Amino acid sequence: MSTVKYSTSQLTFLAAVLWRRCSFRVEPGRPSLDEPFLADGSPSDNERTECAQGPAHRPPLVLFNRRTSLESWFLSSTPGNEATSRPGAFVTTRWSLVLSGANSKSREKDTHAALAELCRIYWRPIFAFVSRRGYSAEDAEDLTQDFFVMILEGNWLQKANPSRGRFRSLLLKSLQNFLSDAADKTYTRKRGGDVSFVSWDAWMAEAPSELSMSTQTVQSLPAERLFDVQWAATVVERALRRLRDECERKGRLRVFDALSAYLIAERDDVSCASLAATLGVPQGTVKKLLYRMRQRYRWLLRDEVAQTVENPADIEDELRHLCGALAASSEQAR
């Protein structure tokens, strides 16, 4: 094995080359040069942002080096759009933002906004859990509202000691404790009496659930299982809604309407000829569209899950947990 020796001037030159490689200017529309930071081959920050938000939302010009690129990405990111589902990539998700800002006064506003957004998205599992515990619809609404007030107005994160669970499991544990306390106090709050956080009509109108279950399934599920089923439905429905919105923004809602039912279909179950006739495009285009829609749906789904876990490496586990909950729910319904 031969050994290569460098002189001091050669080493200085090499260091300068390496420094130039790691310190550069990123311009919109040009291929990102930051692959050295993403050793797993995941898309660069620019690509992720563009992919999620479209070309109109390109990030501003940033002069950065290895250190500041990560800082600027972290500090300027808007949760919910840029997270990638690829393990190892640097991401800020709503939940990681909440956890990282839990004890920081300076980031209180951002933390609160991220937590409020998570609560707004996942109100259905909470309400389903409370309803399943036997409360009347009115009491379930009030209890859900009070629970969110406790989360958002109190020091829930500090008291919950979230070191550091996923948002779903921490929320469920807190809800169980909350209902246990409510039962001890014999819940008798008068409707409309206290602080109001939830606007039921607005929430339902914004994203009506189209989940469909048999009476047998609903009746057989314990509250914890129903919570997970509703959680899974929220994740999937949001991913589908985002996919639909993306098609609509391009004036291709018809494409979504025609193909979304085949996102998980087996190859033999898809009649490309029929879909081609419906859409007025060649069969080859249908195949490409379906391939890209599936790819995009998977990305959106993983992005939704990513928003509720601290570490992107937990996405797989979270998906497996929810799949397991659904499998168990069908066993219980039989």
Partner 1 sequence: MNFYRFTDSLATITGQSNECPHCRTAVRVSNGGCLRCLLQAGLTEDEDPRSESLDAFLSEME
Q: Give least dist CB 157 to partner 1, A.
A: 27
Q: Give least dist CB 26 to partner 1, A.
A: 17
Which of 94, 132, 166, 242 binds partner 1 (CB under 8 A)? It is: 132
Part in contact with partner 1 (CB under 8 A); list of ranges 4-12, 60-68, 171-179, 315-323:
315-323
Identify any residues that bridge with 62 across adjacent strands, giving them in sequence order.
26
Helix H or strand E encompassing 24: strand 24-26
- State which of positions 59-118 bind partner 1 (CB under 8 A): 85-86
Which of 26, 121, 128, 198 binds partner 1 (CB under 8 A)? It is: 128
Cα–Cα separations (whole angstroms), residue 155 to 173, 176, 194, 301, 323: 16, 17, 18, 30, 32
Determine the residue type at 279.
Answer: L
Check residue 199 for interaction with partner 1 (CB under 8 A): no
Q: How far is residue 6's CA from residue 293's CA, in Å, rounded to a whole number? A: 52
The residue behind tokens 């992919």 is: 51
- State which of positions 20-59 bind partner 1 (CB under 8 A): 42-43, 47, 51, 54
Which of 98, 115, 293, 309 binds partner 1 (CB under 8 A)? It is: 293
Q: Give least dist CB 329 to partner 1, A.
A: 7
CA-closest candidate to residue 228, choices 311, 297, 302, 128: 128
| Contacts with partner 1, 211-230, as mask; x by CB under 8 A | xxxxxxxxx---------xx
Q: Give least dist CB 204 to partner 1, A.
A: 5
CA-closest candidate to residue 225, choices 128, 113, 87: 128
Check residue 281 for interaction with partner 1 (CB under 8 A): yes
Q: How far is residue 243's CA from residue 253's CA, in Å, rounded to a whole number? A: 10
Q: How far is residue 85's CA from residue 299's CA, in Å, rounded to a whole number? A: 7
Q: How far is residue 133's CA from residue 131's CA, in Å, rounded to a whole number? A: 5
Which of 114, 172, 247, 309 binds partner 1 (CB under 8 A)? It is: 247
Burial class for 287, CB neighbours closer than 10 Å (0-12, 13-18, 19+) = middle
Part in contact with partner 1 (CB under 8 A); list of ranges 60-68, 69-77, 124-132, 188-196:
124-132
- State which of positions 139-168 bind partner 1 (CB under 8 A): 140-141
